[in-house]
Amino acid sequence: MSPHDPALFKQLLANCASEPIQYPGAIQPHGVLLTLSEPGLELLQVSANIEPLFGVQPAQVLGQPLACLLGPVQAASIAEACTAESFVDASPLRVSIQGHAFEALLHRHQGVLVLELERQDLPAMPVDDKATSRNLGRILRNLQAAQSLPALYEACVHEIQRLTGYDRVLIYRFEAQGHGQVIAEASSPAMELYNGLFFPASDIPEQARELYRRNWLRIIPDADYTAVELVPSLRPDTGQPLDMSFATLRSVSPVHCEYMRNMGVRSSMSVSLLKGDRLWGLITCGHRTPLYVPPELRSACQTLGQVLSLQISAMEALEVSRQRETKLQTLARLNGLMINAQDTVFEGLSAEPQTLMDMVDASGVAIIEGTTLHRYGKCPEPGQIHALHAWLRAQGEPVFASHHLSSVYAPAADYQKEASGVLAMSLPKPVDNGVLWFRREVKESIPWSGNPEKPLDMSDAEGTPRLRPRTSFEIWKVEVAGIAAPWSHGDLFAAQDLRRSALENDLARQVLREQQAVRARDDLVAVVSHDLRSPMTVISMLCGMMQKSFSSEGPHASRRISSALDTMQQAASRMNVLLEDLLDTSKIEAGRYTIAPRVLEVSQIFDEAYTLLAPLALDKAVELVFMPCLDLRVNADPERLFQVLSNLIGNAIKFSPKQGRITVTAEPCGSDIAFSVRDSGEGIAPEQLPHIFDRYWTLKDNNPSGTGLGLYISQGIIKAHGGVLTAESEVGQGSEFRFTVPRVL
């Protein structure tokens, strides 16, 4: 297979992107790395350079206490440092071995203590701690004084270059698509300039970005170093490679070192810039010759990176807030149009299409509602809009935005001149609806550092094909088509806020329509009830008068007429009851059911109920017993309370067998009087019991005249009194209905 085979190149590129760079098994040579067990601090792994630096071979110290390598005094200082809850803010810890000075760095990861001894006798810029503190204070003041993000970036790169002496200091910002752009630069005259250039995502693979996200700083004093292996190569306690994600001395990928050399630098330092827990960008420093930055200066640079991260987040948040404020007046205008629209919110938005476009700086807008489509400004054809809208609805996003529509929706390539970008919103309604804003194509030339289509090279190394970093960083301009100006945070906010207002207005319209429908229905029921009650009363009276003329004991024809009149009178009476029930139901549903409570004697209520209902019970040979406690008074509407008792007792009589028994009681229950109607009937099936208070629910067996409104109305009456109506039943044992009304003491 040829080393230039595209499939091979793709495979090698995938391998590079998945390289486990946190497990190099080696360190950079400007220090020593030791892994220790706790609490005994026995040496588990050591870097192979302890032999030239400390004069001992790894085999001599592995498994031994740390004191055998550092001596008891220095080992004790390390042990004391290990007792701290955090190593982040610990004071500098220095040790000296065989005439070499080291600064000790500690961290724990995955159950092992890692001790790094970084050499302090390497050539470096002289560091004056007091001067560094003064400079840091001055730099922080300068950063805080920046009035804009570009000014903030420029101040940062120049101050870090002055502080560290690097030939080049850049701020590199990651874009949403994965690639990055240099947005600020401070470089010495001999360095090639990169400010404004874009770099492909493969320059900093995903696993490298993750390490940058987890660590504020990384340093490479000399890219031409020879890596120092760990002994043994695997952790003896787990048999796995050592995870060096947080190790300062971690050896880096050879591809990266070659990349540095191709850029003309031998040493580098990177400081992460975070926005929340997301990697926003990097401060990258490079030098043409080896350069070691002491820990004090590195700490100052890390502080600057942390401060810059906070300021970037704060200033971006202020910019977002400013963008939002510029939209508020337009949003208020559009909201007023939606409120005042006669029919729908979309009708309101269609009233001022230019205002709708200006809100998000769009070149065109389409408004869809059902089969109606309105287009204003520069838009695709109607069929294209409907197809795009169907695709957008399938995405399931309330607000969708793209400034490169053809990259996610291929048919958009046919109309990218009119609509390279789209911002869309829709409401959750059964009818097809939405607003689609369009932006025209903005052709531009993007400057890349090298060919973005060839971010890596492939070559043979001793007959084996391998990837190598590109050697050319010359400006490579790429003409971009099918891309519109990106939608800003303010544009997205405006679309989301307009959708919220449209949704609220649309729901308000639906509620109003439903309220109007309920009122119309209630008015109709009231009119029908009133208008029918009078003729039904007349029919009943006429039936009574006619019955006096026809005897049920007379001739056959006379008996037939008398029977027919009886039936008519019963039907008229039943219709009157039904009309009253319908009117009560309508009032309950509309929340307009009213009562006129007054103080009532319970014994008097029971006497009236017994007088009316005892004959019905007697006809069925059912025993009806009232058992009130003495001197009980309630605050209730007498007609409505009697209606409830009549309904409950009437049902009990209807569903009780002959020789059955019905007991009606009333007794104090806190601040209420609890009424109970218990029968000895067949009971209600468990699956039916939860539905007995539903509107129009009725037992189908042995209940030919039931309307299903009695219990529903009774519950509404009791609720209007501030009480509750409940039911318990057991098949074959009977049922009990209980309700409460306020007690009068």
Instruction: Determine the pLDDT at residue 696.
Output: 64
Helix (H) or strand (E) holding 480: strand 475-480
Mean pLDDT value across residues 700-706: 52
pLDDT band at 143 (very low <50, low <70, confident <90, very high): confident
The string of pLDDT tens digits covering residues 201-216 is 777 888 888 999 999 9
Mean pLDDT value across residues 643-648: 89
CATH 1.10.150.450 fits 595-742, yes or no: no
Comparing CA positions, the residue from 183, 149, 130, 107 lying closest to residue 300 is 130
What is the torsional sign of CA 442, 445, 448, 454?
positive
Mean pLDDT estimate for the chain:
82
User: H helices of 620-702, where?
Assistant: 638-655
Instruction: Determine the pLDDT at residue 9.
Output: 43
Please name the residues in contact with 589: beta carbons below 8 A apart, sequence gap of 6 or more: 518
Q: Say how far apart CA 386 and CA 425 lie, in whole Å.
A: 14
What is the torsional sign of CA 236, 240, 245, 250?
positive
Per DSSP, 379 falls in state -
Q: Say how far apart CA 712 and CA 150 lie, in whole Å.
A: 71
pLDDT band at 2 (very low <50, low <70, confident <90, very high): very low
Q: Domain segments of the chain: what residues?
A: 21-121+229-249, 512-588, 595-742
pLDDT band at 550 (very low <50, low <70, confident <90, very high): low
Could you tell me the two tokens for 30? 């400007």
Model pTM?
0.62
Q: Say how far apart CA 573 and CA 580 lie, in whole Å.
A: 11
Q: Say how far apart CA 8 and CA 14 lie, in whole Å.
A: 10
The string of pLDDT tens digits covering residues 320-378 is 888 889 899 999 999 999 998 888 899 999 999 999 999 999 999 999 998 899 999 99
Q: Which class does domain 512-588 fall in?
A: mainly alpha
Instruction: Determine the pLDDT at residue 710.
Output: 78
pLDDT band at 675 (very low <50, low <70, confident <90, very high): very high
State the CATH architecture for 21-121+229-249.
Answer: 2-Layer Sandwich (3.30)
Per DSSP, 192 falls in state P
User: Strand, helix or coil at 97?
Assistant: strand
- Strand pairing of 661-669 and 623-628? parallel
DSSP assignment string, 574-621? HHHHHHHHHHHHHHHHHT------EEEEHHHHHHHHHHHHHHHHHHTT
Instruction: Determine the pLDDT at residue 66.
Output: 94
| pLDDT of 532 strictly over 70 | no
**Residue written as tokens 């807030």?**
321
Instruction: Determine the pLDDT at residue 592.
Output: 61
Q: Are the beta carbons of 83 and 74 closer than 8 angstroms?
A: no
